[in-house]
A and B are shown apart, each in its own frame.
Chain A
Amino acid sequence: GQSLEQPSEVTAVEGAIVQINCTYQTSGFYGLSWYQQHDGGAPTFLSYNGLDGLEETGRFSSFLSRSDSYGYLLLQELQMKDSASYFCAVRDRSNQGGKLIFGQGTELSVKP
């Protein structure tokens, strides 16, 4: 089966840098994605890593190490609006469409 582990909550201060880790176990692997969800809202796609290394999109970066089955989301210059839940997700290789399996989510609280 598939499973993903990420910390349940993280707290940081405005302007700081925070890293949210994700480890996964899958029967097949297409790539690691990250989603942001504000309370009561729709998850929004942040980033995708299909190959090892770092992907940067503005203040957010995501990293993948396939040999370690590990990735992380790095948020820089934290802002209050970054307070949200962050989910890592992997595609299941068992079908062509690639359904996503989500982690339990990490609740990030940004303090002034």
Chain B
Amino acid sequence: DGGITQSPKYLFRKEGQNVTLSCEQNLNHDAMYWYRQDPGQGLRLIYYSQIVNDFQKGDIAEGYSVSREKKESFPLTVTSAQKNPTAFYLCASSPVDREGGYTFGSGTRLTVV
């Protein structure tokens, strides 16, 4: 079955550390996205990529970095520059067209300890 897999499900980070969240999809979607969700809040876009080796900043890109070396993979690194990284991180993918709905992964819950 096609889908999108995020790992790990839970992640604990010490202050000052960089951590990388994995996102892999086998849906053959061209576009991939990273969103951040805080408790009781909507989804805010961090980064997105419409094609391999290209990506754009979203609304809250500061303190994050991404790469898109393969169509199937879009890892997100939360750097030490991100001052408030505790949140629920959601990865999504979609066809690059106007009507395709997003498919989301099950998320990674990151906590700074």
What residues of chain A have their CB less than 8 Å away from a CB belonging to chain B? 30-31, 33, 35, 40-45, 48, 50, 87, 91, 95-105, 107
CB of B96 within 8 A of CB of A102, answer no
Least distance between B21 CB and chain A CB atoms (Å): 14
Q: Roughly how many angstroms separate A52 CA and B106 CA in the complex, as a whole number?
A: 32
Cβ–Cβ contact B42 & A102, under 8 A: yes
Question: Digit string of B78-101 for contact with A (CB within 8 Å is 1, else 0)?
Answer: 000000000010100010111101
* A104, B42: Cβ atoms closer than 8 Å: yes
Establish whether residues B90 and A97, one from each chain, have CB atoms under 8 Å apart when the complex forms. Answer: no
- With an 8 A cutoff between CB atoms, is B17 at the interface? no
Whether B98 lies near A50 (C-beta < 8 A) is: yes
CA distance A31 to B98 in the complex (A): 8
Using CB atoms and an 8 Å cutoff, list the residues of chain B in contact with chain A. 30-31, 33, 35, 40-45, 48, 50, 56, 58, 88, 90, 94, 96-99, 101-107
Q: How far is the CA of A62 from the CA of B56 in the complex (A)?
A: 31
Main secondary structure of the interface of A (DSSP, over half): loop
A-B contact pairs, 27 of them (CB 8 A): A30-B98, A31-B99, A33-B102, A35-B102, A40-B88, A41-B106, A42-B106, A44-B104, A45-B101, A45-B103, A87-B42, A91-B98, A95-B50, A95-B56, A96-B50, A97-B30, A97-B31, A97-B50, A97-B96, A99-B33, A100-B45, A102-B43, A103-B42, A104-B41, A105-B41, A105-B42, A107-B40
